[in-house]
């Protein structure tokens, strides 16, 4: 099976999982919509309960032209940043971790991903 076929199968299965339980995995459209909602809520003076929830849970981190959704940090200097990824990015992230661990198994890959 070619690498492109593996990626398509992996992504298709993640989308199937998203359709069943859309809380943990997000497609790009939902991910970027959330970023826009967080940015808009940050600038508003009167906020809804949903906007307070978003601001209490997420931050938008800007690196050059790229905006990333990250977990809200209490102490920005000390804590490591927890990035959220889209369904479309997940295959590349897992593949890089797999290669970085010397084609290691699940436990070694999980440890590598927690270090990033």
Please give the pLDDT value at position 104. Answer: 67
The average pLDDT across 70-98 equals: 85
- Asked if the model's pLDDT at residue 50 lies above 90, the reply is yes
Give residue limits of the domains in the chain.
3-86
Q: pLDDT per residue over 14-41, tens digit each? A: 999 899 887 778 999 999 999 999 999 9
Predicted TM-score (pTM) of the model is 0.79
Please give the pLDDT value at position 116. Answer: 59
State residue 38 phi and psi, 5-degree precision: -65, -45
Q: Which two tokens stand for residue 29?
A: 């459209």
Helices within 1-116 (DSSP H only): 3-20, 28-43, 49-57, 87-100, 106-115
């Amino acid at each position: 099976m070619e690498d492109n076929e593996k990626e398509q199968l992996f992504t298709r299965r993640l989308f199937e999982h998203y359709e069943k339980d859309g809380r943990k995995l997000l497609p790009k459209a939902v991910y970027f919509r959330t970023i826009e909602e967080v940015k808009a809520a940050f600038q508003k003076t009167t906020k809804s309960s949903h906007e307070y929830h978003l601001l209490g849970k997420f931050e938008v981190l800007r690196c050059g032209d790229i905006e990333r959704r990250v977990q809200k940090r209490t102490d920005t200097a000390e804590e490591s940043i927890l990035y959220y990824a889209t369904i479309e990015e997940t295959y590349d992230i897992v593949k890089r971790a797999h290669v970085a661990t010397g084609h290691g198994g699940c436990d070694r890959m999980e440890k590598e991903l927690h270090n990033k």
